[in-house]
Amino acid sequence: MFKKEIISLLSKEINLKPEQIENLIETPPNPEMGDYAFPCFALSKKLKKSPDKIAEKLFKKLKPTKEIEQIKPIGPYLNFFINKKELAKQIIKINANFGKTNLGKGKKIAIDFSAPNIGKPMHIGHIRSTIIGDSLMRTYNFLGYNPIGINYLGDVGLHIGKLIVAYELWLNKKNLKKNPVNELLNLYVKFNAKEKTNPKLTEQAKEKLKKFELGDLKTEKIWENIRKVSAESFNKIYEMLNINFHETIGQSQFSDKGKQIVINALEQKIAKREPDQAVYVLLDGKKKFILRSNQTASYITQDLGAAVSRFKKYKFDKMIYVTDFRQKQHFDSLFSLLKAMKYDFADKLVHLTFGAVKFGKEIMATRKGQIILLQDVLNKTIEKARKEIKKRKTKGDKTKVGIGAIKYIILKNEPAKDVQFSWEQALSFEGNTGPYLQYSYARASSIIKKAKKTKAKISNHLTKEEIALIKKISLFPEIVERAGKLMNPSLIANYSHELAQTFNEFYHSNKVIGNKNQTFRLKLVQAFRTCLKNSLYLLGIEVMEEM
């Protein structure tokens, strides 16, 4: 919070943008050297002076303020000491709005996330997009943006052609009634197995797809049934995860719009036709196909249509597609195509990629036909949470603990990195885990509940642990801002962990109830609770008052 004050002090004296100053400011390795340090190396070249001299010169110019009580040059650094008592005063006043800003006021951010394919159950591959996307939605909302969540269902494509063919050939109606998602998966697995020795099946699937696109009623009826069954199973998962979208819309809705864009591109000579009638655009000397030879729309055709339609509808300032890293090329091409077709909004599009979720040996139990079903993973986690709660004889809601554990293990990893998933790690009540954070919150709640209320007064001497906690809480607004800017919820996750750790260290060596500083310490515990609750809210993790 006081960092802003330092930036404003410095920006009056040096010729750097506030943002550049912010990026340069460091935290000294030892708090005795100061709370913040500004390294002068970057200025040295420009000013043709040694960094030590620059620090000295800045020191002479800058005057301490109410919030920054001391400024001190140490070698090439200019160090700042914040007024801890003043900071403490502000921290104990924080409320549920702590960390909220209007940074993004009037700006729309569309987020394309989750986006499973119908006909197949949601699998572990969808979990990161779903959870990261939801956390970004919450974060941008907090920062004052207007985020729009879009779930772009994969309701068309060769996999759908295959499934419809399989449905007509082998459907077991009884099984469809009993366990629809399972029956569809069986059909799909069977098709893929038979296709290997019978390439005619693949041709049939392509034909089906074409029929579907031309509006064949019989095909459409089967498709509608598949869509309905899938949507129901997806919704069950979204409900469990407490995730909502502004818009859920199928890829198939954009085939026509996409084809229209292809035709425009042909007319403008941006696109060309092959002798077999397939249409392509040359990107960096390579042919990128945007329409199949049988004139059906492909994944990229629909994405072209969807992007143009969405910009028309929302006039977004930014659109983020959250998918697996394996789609990098697809999105690179999509963005280049839109640029080549002179759509100005192309530079507002970003692709946020993430790595894989890796399981240890436990993987086999939930594997069905090569995929790990998300529903199975969620059920198993909640069941394990129930056992863990029972074993520890604690209170706590198994669903909140289980879902929180899953969300946390996903979000604590930087999107670009793989997630090493293990139930043991996800559900541990110690370490960098969801349950540890929820438990810390409940502990703070119980302290507050036990104590009798009195007025807050800040003692003249703040302990080392009190200062550490106050400072940690004060970082929250910056962290949220950075997480939004970098589209990286792991910053908020790991901050939450550091915050809980700092609180637990404080609590171990600073008696709260019955201490002469009880009033102030209770307020501090309360501030910690507020901050952790907000932080976990941004991760989509629910807290409990008792655990």
What is the nearest approach in angstroms of ligand ARG to the Cβ of residue 282? 22
With contacts defined by CB under 6 A, how many residues of the chain interact with ligand ARG?
10
Residue 421 binds ligand ARG, judged by CB under 6 A: no
Residue nearest to ligand ARG (CB): 154
What is the nearest approach in angstroms of ligand ARG to the Cβ of residue 384? 27
CA–CA distance, 404 with 396 (Å, rounded to integer): 12
Tokens describing residue 373: 């079903």
Interaction with ligand ARG in 444-503: which residues (CB under 6 A)? none
CA–CA distance, 191 with 369 (Å, rounded to integer): 12
Question: Quick one: which segment of 20-28, 35-43, 115-123, 311-319 binds ligand ARG (CB under 6 A)?
Answer: 115-123
**499 with 477: CB under 8 angstroms?**
no
Between 131 and 170, how does the x/- string for binding to ligand ARG read (CB under 6 A)? ---------------------x-x----------------
Please identify, using beta-carbon distances, which residue of 151 and 438 lies nearer to ligand ARG. 151
Interaction with ligand ARG in 294-313: which residues (CB under 6 A)? 303, 306
What is the nearest approach in angstroms of ligand ARG to the Cβ of residue 161? 15
CB neighbourhood size of 73 (10 A): 20
Q: Calculate the CA 469 to chain-centre distance.
A: 26
Interaction with ligand ARG in 310-339: which residues (CB under 6 A)? 321, 323
Residue in the structure block whose two tokens are 């190396």: 41
What is the nearest approach in angstroms of ligand ARG to the Cβ of residue 183? 21
Question: Quick one: which segment of 80-88, 108-116, 367-375, 440-448 binds ligand ARG (CB under 6 A)?
Answer: 108-116
**380 with 128: CB under 8 angstroms?**
no
What is the nearest approach in angstroms of ligand ARG to the Cβ of residue 341? 17
Please identify, using beta-carbon distances, which residue of 71 and 371 lies nearer to ligand ARG. 371
CA–CA distance, 545 with 363 (Å, rounded to integer): 34
**520 with 179: CB under 8 angstroms?**
no
Residue 117 binds ligand ARG, judged by CB under 6 A: yes
Residue ranges of the alpha helices (H) in 412-517? 423-427, 434-450, 464-474, 476-486, 490-509
Question: Quick one: which segment of 111-119, 392-400, 426-434, 440-448 binds ligand ARG (CB under 6 A)?
Answer: 111-119
DSSP for 170-187, written as a single string = H--HHHHHH-HHHHHHHH
Residue in the structure block whose two tokens are 């290997």: 196
Strands 349-354 and 371-372: unpaired
In 3D space, the residue among 451, 517, 473 whose CA is nearest the CA of residue 88 turns out to be 473
Residue 233 binds ligand ARG, judged by CB under 6 A: no
Q: Is 385 exposed, middle or buried (0-12, 13-18, 19+ CB in 10 A)?
A: buried
Please identify, using beta-carbon distances, which residue of 323 and 530 lies nearer to ligand ARG. 323
Please identify, using beta-carbon distances, which residue of 91 and 115 lies nearer to ligand ARG. 115
What is the nearest approach in angstroms of ligand ARG to the Cβ of residue 486? 21
CA distances from 285 to 33, 268, 273, 280, 332 (A): 57, 18, 15, 11, 15
What is the nearest approach in angstroms of ligand ARG to the Cβ of residue 423? 25
Please identify, using beta-carbon distances, which residue of 149 and 154 lies nearer to ligand ARG. 154
- Name the residues that contact ligand ARG, by CB under 6 A: 112, 115-117, 152, 154, 303, 306, 321, 323
